[in-house]
Amino acid sequence: MLIFDSFASMKRASEFARHVETTFGHKALVFDSPEESNKVDPFPFRLFPPIVLVERDESYRVEEAIETTVDQFGGKFAGT
């Protein structure tokens, strides 16, 4: 999973998730706590909610485009 965090609100995180699903066709899940997101994909570093998990893509270019898009929604790419 691609992991994104630090959105200003759940609304912005949800907008990013919806954008990823409609633009890139990838499943995106929104969480309001690291404990909940870690049930889906454990991440060894501290995450700052809201958190969005996005399914990976075989194409590095698609993943890079998704990572770049998060800036428009005020979130940050945390890792994979």
- CATH number, domain with residue 56: 3.30.70
Average pLDDT of the residues in 35-63: 94
Cα dihedral across residues 69, 70, 74, 76: positive or negative = negative
**Which domain covers residue 21, as residue numbers?**
2-79
- Spatial distance between the Cα atoms of 5 and 45, rounded to a whole number of angstroms: 12
Q: Which segments within 1-80 are labelled E, that is strand?
A: 2-5, 28-31, 51-54, 76-79
Lookup: tokens for 34: 């690291």
Structural domains counted in the chain:
1
| Span 8-32, average pLDDT | 97
pLDDT of 80 = 87
pLDDT reading at 57 higher than 90: no
